Structure 1
Amino acid sequence: MQQLLGFDKMVTPIIIRIVYFLGLLVVLITGVATLFSGGLRGVLTGLAILVFGAIMVRVYSELLILLFRIHDNLVSINQQMKDRNPSGQL
């Protein structure tokens, strides 16, 4: 609990996963609604929304998680540098 309150542990990656699944749900609902909107154009547009929408939601989520993993790695490197040189001088 102290890590959470002290901002030592990030909760955002968990939130990003939730947003990912919500985004997929929105893409699914939008794509299916467009599929049944009528005509060949609606079918093609609905399929495009389903395919490209799902891909874009995944890419966006992975990019956000990547940023947080980079942050975690930088924190780890910083901690290792402090452990090697406790005086603070490089």
Structure 2
Amino acid sequence: MQDLLGFEKMVTPIVIRILYFLGLLVVLISGVSALFSGGFRGILTGIAILIFGAIMVRVYSELLILLFRIHDNLVSINQQMKDRNPSGQL
């Protein structure tokens, strides 16, 4: 609990995963509704939404998660540097 209140543990990656699945649900609903909107153009639009929408939601989510992984790696490097040199001088 102290990690959460002290901002030592990030909550946003969990939120990003939830938003990813909600985004996929929106893409699915949009794609299926476009498929049944009528005509050949609606079918092409629906397929495009399903394919490219799912890819774009995934890419956007991965980019956001990447920022937090970089943060975790930097914190780990910082901790290793402190462990090697406890006086704080480099």
Gap runs ≥5 in structure 1? none
Taking structure 1 as the reference length, what is the TM-score of the superposition?
Answer: 0.98
Partner residue of 1:73? 73
1:88 is displaced (CA, Å) by 1.2
The aligned residue for residue 88 of structure 2 is: 88
Aligned match of 2:23:
23
Q: Separation in 1 of the partners of 2:16 and 2:59?
A: 12
Q: In the alignment, what sits opposite 2:4?
A: 4
Please give the alpha-carbon distance, in whole angstroms, between the structure 2 residues aligned to 1:19 and 1:11.
13
Q: Which amino acid aligns with 2:48?
A: A
The runs of 4+ residues in structure 1 deviating greater than 4 Å are none
1:42 aligns with 2:46: no
How many pairs does the alignment contain? Answer: 90
Q: Compute the TM-score of the two structures, normalised by the length of structure 2.
A: 0.98
Q: Provide the residue aligned with 1:52 in structure 2.
A: 52
User: What stretches of structure 2 of length at least 5 have no aligned partner?
Assistant: none
